[in-house]
């Protein structure tokens, strides 16, 4: 891949707040952006030069998109993998579609992690009532049933306790009997994530590690730095390095972990993209996760991931966004509004970063 020149165009599949923040970073480095997103009024549409509004499966629109993009990346994990493969036959895509193909399916993701000797929660594939009962028996009658695909922010997940036929049927009813996995419960004391970037030459940078706090499966807050021993930090970096190298990855990745009271770490999942738990880098680091991703996929040198301040990133969810005028009056706050027109409860509308 030849490095992009100033003024060239980065194509982004997906038009949410991540695409919006990637577009800001790209513009600041002198690139143009074009997004491909089915929704007309998406968060990124207001800040990009060009927006193709079409279904992800529309081949003519995909052709048009690839003709106008010098490199293509994705922010949405729900882009059909077939569309990505189609684009890959005519354009350069980073990260490689293989990363998304694995991350889109919890079964493939866990299998990939375990094949690389990376510890996860114990897990079993579930296709029907019989396989669910067998899995529940194997994990001692307490587990999390998770749909293989399209689960995010805690959606598509059911806690199952017990192991009889009725319990299994009711749990499967709640996920519409789609293919799933059952995970054993990890008794974690912390949830953390690693945001890292890898360039075309295999160079890797790691950001500091946030501790993440969720409510109803949705990230509420990231506190940086997480209180971890330097040994655990190194373990987390090496796990992330293994994933990046195995995928010949280019761009920013987010790997989420559980840490137990003995500081044993288990990979929960990874996202082949910039991530909500990395938003703090925007205000607390010289080079943010967004700029790092743009640099990586453009073939430019990666920047310093150094953090100059401790900080807390708080998501502004639903009505929280009304707090912005008050937050602006506090010193040391960095406010980010995603420009979404429709305010819905549970919807991520913006975030605030408190620097200290």
Interface with ligand AMP (CB under 6 A): 121, 144, 151, 154, 183, 185-186, 191, 214, 217, 268-269
Judged by beta carbon, residue 157 or residue 309, the one nearer ligand AMP is: 157
- For the bound state, the minimum distance from the C-beta of residue 122 to ligand AMP, rounded and expressed in Å, comes to 9
Annotate 62-89 with b (16+ C-beta within 10 A) or e (fewer).
beebbebbbbbbbbbeebeeebbebbee
Q: Are strands 348-355 and 265-271 parallel, antiparallel or unpaired?
A: unpaired
Total residue length of the chain = 356
Contacts of 303 (CB under 8 A, 6+ apart): 205, 286, 287, 291, 292, 295
Cα 136 from Cα 59, distance rounded (Å): 43
Cα 247 from Cα 99, distance rounded (Å): 6
Judged by beta carbon, residue 14 or residue 122, the one nearer ligand AMP is: 122
- For the bound state, the minimum distance from the C-beta of residue 187 to ligand AMP, rounded and expressed in Å, comes to 8
Please report which helix (H) or strand (E) contains residue 245, including its range.
helix 230-246
- For the bound state, the minimum distance from the C-beta of residue 344 to ligand AMP, rounded and expressed in Å, comes to 20
Q: Is residue 351 a contact partner of residue 323, using CB atoms and an 8 Å limit?
A: no
- For the bound state, the minimum distance from the C-beta of residue 191 to ligand AMP, rounded and expressed in Å, comes to 5
- For the bound state, the minimum distance from the C-beta of residue 135 to ligand AMP, rounded and expressed in Å, comes to 13
List Cα–Cα distances, 191 to 163, 188, 298, 304, 335, in angstroms.
28, 7, 32, 25, 24
- For the bound state, the minimum distance from the C-beta of residue 157 to ligand AMP, rounded and expressed in Å, comes to 6
Judged by beta carbon, residue 61 or residue 218, the one nearer ligand AMP is: 218
Judged by beta carbon, residue 217 or residue 332, the one nearer ligand AMP is: 217
Residue 121: closest CA among 328, 254, 259: 259
Cα 133 from Cα 135, distance rounded (Å): 5
Annotate 10-41 with b (16+ C-beta within 10 A) or e (fewer).
bbbbbbbbbbbbbbbbbbeeebbbbbbbbeee
Judged by beta carbon, residue 210 or residue 305, the one nearer ligand AMP is: 210
Longest CA pairwise span in the chain (Å): 62
What's the chain's Rg over C-alpha atoms? 20
- For the bound state, the minimum distance from the C-beta of residue 348 to ligand AMP, rounded and expressed in Å, comes to 15
Angle at 34 between CA 90 and CA 32, to 5 degrees: 105
- For the bound state, the minimum distance from the C-beta of residue 144 to ligand AMP, rounded and expressed in Å, comes to 5
Judged by beta carbon, residue 221 or residue 295, the one nearer ligand AMP is: 221
Judged by beta carbon, residue 272 or residue 305, the one nearer ligand AMP is: 272
Judged by beta carbon, residue 103 or residue 186, the one nearer ligand AMP is: 186
- For the bound state, the minimum distance from the C-beta of residue 275 to ligand AMP, rounded and expressed in Å, comes to 11
Judged by beta carbon, residue 183 or residue 291, the one nearer ligand AMP is: 183
């Amino acid at each position: 891949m030849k490095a992009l020149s100033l003024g060239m165009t980065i194509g982004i599949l997906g038009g949410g707040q991540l695409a919006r923040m990637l577009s800001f970073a790209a513009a600041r480095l002198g690139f143009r952006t074009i997004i491909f997103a089915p929704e007309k009024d998406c968060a990124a549409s207001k800040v990009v030069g060009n927006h193709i509004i079409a279904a992800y499966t529309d081949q003519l629109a995909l052709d048009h998109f690839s003709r106008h993009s010098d490199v293509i990346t994705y922010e949405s994990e729900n882009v059909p993998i077939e569309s990505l493969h189609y684009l890959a036959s005519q354009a350069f895509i980073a990260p490689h579609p293989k990363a998304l193909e694995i991350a889109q399916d919890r079964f493939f993701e866990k299998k990939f992690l375990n094949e690389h000797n990376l510890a996860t929660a114990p897990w079993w594939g579930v296709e029907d009532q019989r396989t669910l009962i067998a899995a529940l028996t194997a994990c001692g009658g307490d587990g999390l049933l998770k749909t293989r695909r399209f689960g995010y922010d805690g959606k598509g997940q059911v806690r199952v306790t017990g192991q009889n036929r009725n319990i299994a049927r009711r749990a499967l009813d709640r996920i519409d009997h789609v293919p799933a996995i059952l995970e054993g419960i990890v008794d974690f004391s912390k949830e953390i994530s690693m945001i890292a970037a890898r360039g075309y030459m295999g160079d890797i940078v790691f950001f500091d590690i946030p501790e993440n706090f969720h409510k109803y499966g949705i990230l509420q807050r990231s506190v940086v730095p997480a209180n971890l021993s330097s040994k655990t930090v190194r373990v987390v970096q090496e796990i992330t390095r293994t994933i990046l190298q195995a995928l010949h990855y280019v761009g920013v990745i987010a790997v989420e972990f559980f840490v137990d009271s003995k500081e044993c770490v288990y990979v929960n999942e990874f996202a082949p993209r910039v991530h909500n738990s990395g938003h703090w880098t925007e205000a607390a680091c010289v080079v943010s996760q967004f700029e790092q991703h743009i640099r990586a996929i453009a073939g430019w040198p990666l920047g310093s991931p150094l953090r100059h301040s401790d900080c807390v990133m708080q998501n502004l969810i639903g009505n929280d966004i009304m707090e912005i005028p008050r937050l602006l009056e506090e010193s040391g706050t960095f406010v980010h509004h995603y420009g979404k027109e429709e305010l819905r409860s549970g919807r991520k509308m913006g975030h605030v970063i408190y620097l200290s």
